[in-house]
Chain A
Amino acid sequence: MEQNNKPVKYDLTFAREIYSLENGSYIKQCMQCGMCAISCATREIMDYSPRQLFNLIKLGKKDEVLQANTMWHCTSCCTCKARCPRGVPLVDVMHDLKKYAIENGYADYPQAAFYKAFWSEVAGRGKVFEGGVTGRYYLIRGLDEVKKAMDMKDVGINMLKHGRLPLLPPKKVKGMGNLKKIIRKAQELQRKEAR
């Protein structure tokens, strides 16, 4: 098998792209010690631990990285971030990977739908109405997910009974027009910075 004798080639295009994200360059500081993996609340159900994911990025394994559930299972508990001996802000790196995955069409995980629903709510109202986020989430996910939710209806009914689920949204932010202008400008600056 001739090809086995060829040196392994690494395609650094993907890695460079990830390093250029807001917190992406921190990935280069990772020394593969595994502190994040043993600290993680959801490691057992992750496809790859954060340490492994960072290594895959270095190796240019774009599909493996972007199809992984790792970043979506991060709960932002900050245990790995607080413990990392190299000061990698893992939670913030995960933010970048989620954003990058969504922008590149890797958004099949239910968490991606939840994130998008949450952002629509904030961008439209300036505040989050939990009922609104839930509604938008099920609109994105479709009927199957609604069926699953029906299994959970006792939880919802209990919350309603105890006044935990107001049916009407809170008032919009009064300065919503200004907030939208601020966000638009911030997005413009973010694009400029990324160049």
Chain B
Amino acid sequence: MKYSFYPGCSMEATAQANLKSIEAVASALDIQLEEIPDWNCCGATVVSGVVGDFIQQVMTGRNLAIAEPKGQDVVVGCSSCYLSLAVTNKRFKEDEHFRALANQALAEGGLKYDGTLRVRQFLEVVINDVGFDKVARRVKRPLKGLKVAGYVGCQTVRAIPYEFDDPEYPVLMDRLMEALGATATEFPMKARCCGSSQTIPATDIVIDCARKIFDSAAAGGAQVIVTPCPMCQLNLDAYQQRVNQLHGTSFNMPVLFFTQLMAIAFDLAPDAQALKYNIVSPYEALATYGASK
């Protein structure tokens, strides 16, 4: 199985654990990811708010235009990048007027995008193209007894609602965790917002959102939280101590990319598990499952 791969900016900085675990898990499942050459920033949820949707979508379209000649599905690892790429792709496919205008701009760089590709998330590819059975067969160290809160977040299921899971109460990542041998816990806040990029300009928003998410995960008895999203992971991991300080709580909830947990269950090397990047230490909760430094 071969795909074009769009990593996105965060994978080179705050979410290196995401990139490392995605690459290792992909290779363990015979998924070939070919990075889109010289990709540029997708604009995330921000650029449109300064220069408008059209500019952001043209910029994002450059990546799709570079990927188009290969004809492979474009796989995205970051939820925010996915939102931008998937919505842009949909517009190229469905809005002829937009496509013509956007291609006039892309032509300045010798590019053109006809809207023929599919944009997908790594999580969805693992679920639909690999499948739960094959994942379960690859497991070397089942995560038996581990209680996992599957924090899907916002954009994964609401960029294009009903594309692959329920936008209000998604369940497929839970099934994936069960394929690893873990127990998915009740978690009503699993698709609620973490505060997103308010981290820098309005940290209080993130602290408030994170508190509610920890409360919900803890009430369900979770030992760890997993997520596909770099922004969610960063907010819940880096600001957990801050939540405790400001709210007098004592959460000690490791927050992992779902691919890190897959790497552990697949018994992949420490570099693939990439746990050294986790700020809330995951070693204690995962000691019996072979989590390694």
What residues of chain A have their CB less than 8 Å away from a CB belonging to chain B?
22-23, 41-42, 45, 71-73, 75-79, 81-82, 91-92, 94-96, 98-99, 102, 109-111, 113-116, 118-119, 122, 126-131, 133-134, 137, 152, 154-155, 158-159, 162-166, 170, 173-175, 178-179, 181-187, 189-190, 193
Contacts from B to A (Cβ < 8 Å)? 9-10, 12-14, 16, 38-41, 43-55, 58-59, 62, 83, 101-102, 104-111, 154-155, 158-159, 161, 167-168, 192-193, 195-198, 200-203, 205, 209, 234, 238-239, 241-242, 276-279
In the complex, what distance in Å separates the CA atom of A1 from the CA atom of B1?
77
18 further contact pairs, Cβ within 8 A, besides A41-B195, A114-B46, A183-B55: A75-B45, A76-B155, A82-B161, A98-B49, A99-B49, A99-B50, A118-B46, A127-B40, A130-B13, A130-B14, A155-B242, A159-B14, A164-B234, A165-B14, A189-B101, A189-B105, A190-B52, A193-B101
Given contacts A126-B41, A155-B238, A173-B40, contact A183 B58 (CB under 8 A): yes
How far apart sit A133 and B159, CA to CA, in the bound complex (Å)? 25
Closest residue of chain A to B205 (Cβ to Cβ) is A42
Jot down 8 A-B pairs with beta carbons below 8 A, ordered by A.
A22-B53, A75-B205, A76-B196, A79-B154, A102-B50, A116-B50, A162-B278, A166-B12
In the complex, what distance in Å separates the CA atom of A32 from the CA atom of B154? 24
**Could you tell me the distance between the alpha carbons of A103 and B205 in the complex, rounded to whole angstroms?**
25
B residues in contact with A110, CB < 8 Å: 200-202
Q: Given A130-B14, A137-B200, A186-B58, verify A78-B49 contact (CB < 8 Å).
A: no
- A75 and B197 CA atoms in complex are apart in Å by 7
The distance from the CB of A38 to the nearest CB of chain B, in whole angstroms, is 13
Q: Describe B's contact surface by its main secondary structure.
A: helix
Q: How far is the CA of A75 from the CA of B46 in the complex (A)?
A: 10
Chain A residues, CB < 8 A from B39: 173
Residue of B nearest to A118 (CB): B46
A63 to B41, CA, bound (A): 34
